[in-house]
Amino acid sequence: MKITIFGSGYVGLVTGACFAEVGNDVLCVDIDQDKIKRLQEGHIPIYEPGLEDIVIENSREGRLRFTSDIAEGVGFGLYQFIAVGTPPDEDGSADLRHVLSVAESIGTHMQEYRIVINKSTVPVGTADLVREKISSVLSERAAAIDFDVVSNPEFLKEGDAVNDFMKPERIVIGVDNPRTKELLRFLYSPFNRSHERFLAMDVRSAELTKYAANAMLATKISFMNEIANISERVGADVEAVRRGIGSDSRIGFPFIYPGVGYGGSCFPKDVQALERTARKYGYDSRILQAVEAVNHDQKLSIVEKIKAHFGGSLKGRTLAIWGLAFKPNTDDMREAPSRVVIEALWKEGAVVRVYDPVAMEEAERIYGKKDDLYYAANPEDAVKGSDALVILTEWMVFRSPDFEMMKRDLLSPVVFDGRNIYNPEFMEQSGFTYYSIGRLP
Ligand code: UGA
């Protein structure tokens, strides 16, 4: 099958590489010529386990190619995926500029039937806008060429994206005619094994499914963070509560881990965008507003604990920070709790010594050189001479550190754990003052 993917970012690259991996001919198109050149040379612009191998392998086999020639892209695939970014605009709504510009290009260059597939996370109604855009360009050209627009949201998790694509829990397709539905079913058949995972529905429901999934997951997290905050006040242990409610199969264990708030390029943006969509249609979504507000405060609540411990002022204090990425197995710092925490610590007059196993380059790109920021070479280096340690991402390597070293190198043995990775009893016995999220000290 011939497939064109517009946008060689996170979603586009994973989608392209995985379709090539099962034998399709894939052409990835991006307007960023530098990125395309680097991809042609086998350099992957993002950190994603397993992705580099399949990109290199499939490029070598000739099944995966990269170009910045848009007309070539439109001419290539029967299936035209739109996987470009939809960043939030000033009011939090998704900015559709890139999506519509791809639609315009498709309308401008297409010569025969095309299936245009929206993979970007786009507000309900976007497929209609894409359809209108292509139709209007075609009519300007006085070209009568048939096409379909399909919604096919992706459910990839950063850090596990290749696996999520190759073994999806569901393949959601929003499509309004049976023939196109069958073409999509055929395209996805290598990933639709063992039991039926193909969920076809109308276009708007597919578009909303994506937002509803992320908003539900974000809601679980904010809800659990609220339970953690209540636990701290009433003297309960949120870990026990988590086990207690997670064992109810109607609730389940995933996504009920309290922490320093959710981050990343999806949850914050999607919760906001869905709230704005609801508002646009005259509905006031109090739940989505609360999910966002709780998450905002949660990122700052650890700073309040640090301040309280040091008597209300952090002037002249140095804090070691372990973890900058918004979650483990990625170097992504978009909307990361670490950024909110570090920036709040700076405001309070503190200096930070930061360490992350993979996000150091990204941190340097964001913050550059600063007097109140030291990029540590390893976890030990971050701790050295700091007044306390703050853990913001639950990387494996932080789970079993040399606690004796920590005690020796910290000015005072104080740990603020934003991810609940240590046992409070053990920490106390080991002589640490240990703060975590919603647990009994
Ligand atoms: C999320 C969804 O999980 C994917 O299904 C979806 O496809 C993707 O967004 C997207 O829309 O593209 P991702 O942003 O990669 O994926 O990250 P998650 O693993 O979902 O984590 C999001 C945030 O929630 C992280 O900051 C994480 O630390 C936090 N989290 C997660 C918690 O605080 N507690 C939990 O119990 C689980």
**Boundaries of every domain in the chain:** 2-201, 216-435
**What per-residue confidence (pLDDT) applies to 434?**
97
Q: Is the pLDDT of residue 441 over 90?
A: no
pLDDT band at residue 183 under the 50/70/90 scheme: very high
Q: Is the pLDDT of residue 142 over 90?
A: yes
Other CB atoms within 10 Å distance of the CB of residue 198: 16
What's the pLDDT tens digit per position in 347-370? Answer: 999 999 999 999 999 999 999 999
Query: Which residue lies with its CA nearest to atom 20 of ligand 1?
Result: 157
With a 6 Å cutoff on the Cβ, whether 223 touches ligand 1 is: no
Provide the residue type at 74 as one letter: V
Measured in Å, residue 356 CA sits from the centre of ligand 1 at 19
Same fold, 2-201 and 216-435: yes
Rounded to whole angstroms, the Cα distance separating 166 from 122 reads 23
Is 210 one of the annotated binding-site residues? yes
**What per-residue confidence (pLDDT) applies to 94?**
84
With a 6 Å cutoff on the Cβ, whether 77 touches ligand 1 is: no
- As a whole number, the mean pLDDT across the chain is 96
What is the distance, to the nearest Å, from the Cα of residue 401 to the centroid of all Cα atoms in its chain? 27
Among 158, 209, 338, 339, name the best residue to mutate to test ligand 1's pocket (greatest count of ligand atoms within 8 A of Cβ). Answer: 158
Query: Which residue lies with its CA nearest to atom 28 of ligand 1?
Result: 327
Measured in Å, residue 330 CA sits from the centre of ligand 1 at 12
In the block, which residue shows the tokens 């990109």?
55
What's the pLDDT tens digit per position in 286-341? Answer: 999 999 999 999 999 999 999 999 999 999 999 999 999 999 999 999 999 999 99
Rounded to whole angstroms, the Cα distance separating 321 from 388 reads 9
Q: What number is the average pLDDT over the span 91-112?
A: 94
DSSP strands (E only) in 189-331: 198-201, 318-322
Q: Are 80 and 6 in contact (CB under 8 A)?
A: yes
Range of weakest confidence among 76-80, 92-96, 187-191: 92-96
Q: What is the enclosing helix (H) or strand (E) of 79? A: strand 79-82
> What percentage of the chain exceeds 70 in pLDDT?
100
**What per-residue confidence (pLDDT) applies to 47?**
85
Query: Which residue lies with its CA nearest to atom 16 of ligand 1?
Result: 157
Burial of 261 (0-12, 13-18, 19+ CB in 10 A): buried
State ipTM.
Answer: 0.96
Looking at per-residue pLDDT, the higher value among 258 and 86 belongs to 258
Q: What number is the average pLDDT over the span 394-420?
A: 97
Q: Is the pLDDT of residue 92 over 80?
A: no
**What per-residue confidence (pLDDT) applies to 90?**
85
Query: Which residue lies with its CA nearest to atom 37 of ligand 1?
Result: 255
pLDDT band at residue 60 under the 50/70/90 scheme: very high
**What per-residue confidence (pLDDT) applies to 384?**
97
Examine the residue annotation and report whether 28 is marked as an active-site residue of this protein: no
DSSP 116-182: EEE-S---TTHHHHHHHHHHHHHHHHT----EEEEE----PPTTSHHHHHHS-S-EEEE-SSHHHHH
Q: What number is the average pLDDT over the span 410-439?
A: 97
Q: What number is the average pLDDT over the span 37-55?
A: 92
Collapse the DSSP code of 311 into the 3-class scheme (helix H, G, I; strand E, B; otherwise coil) and give the result: coil
**What per-residue confidence (pLDDT) applies to 46?**
87
With a 6 Å cutoff on the Cβ, whether 217 touches ligand 1 is: yes
Rounded to whole angstroms, the Cα distance separating 239 from 256 reads 10
**DSSP bridge partners of 81:** 5, 117
Q: Is the pLDDT of residue 26 over 90?
A: yes
For the CA of 213, the nearest atom of ligand 1:
5
Is 315 one of the annotated binding-site residues? no
pLDDT band at residue 87 under the 50/70/90 scheme: confident
**What per-residue confidence (pLDDT) applies to 7?**
97
**What per-residue confidence (pLDDT) applies to 440?**
81
What's the pLDDT tens digit per position in 186-228? Answer: 999 999 988 999 999 999 999 999 999 999 999 999 999 999 9
Report the CATH number of the 2-201 domain. Answer: 3.40.50.720
Among 51, 156, 395, name the best residue to mutate to test ligand 1's pocket (greatest count of ligand atoms within 8 A of Cβ). Answer: 156
Other CB atoms within 10 Å distance of the CB of residue 440: 14
**What per-residue confidence (pLDDT) applies to 52?**
94
Measured in Å, residue 211 CA sits from the centre of ligand 1 at 13
Phi, psi of 247 (to 5 degrees): -75, -10
Measured in Å, residue 116 CA sits from the centre of ligand 1 at 27
CA-nearest of 5, 4, 18 to 166 is 18
With a 6 Å cutoff on the Cβ, whether 268 touches ligand 1 is: no
Q: Is the pLDDT of residue 146 over 90?
A: yes
> What percentage of the chain exceeds 90 in pLDDT?
95
Is 159 one of the annotated binding-site residues? no
Q: Could you tell me which CATH class the domain 216-435 is placed in? A: alpha beta
Catalytic entry in 64, 203, 266, 391? 266
- Record the pTM: 0.94
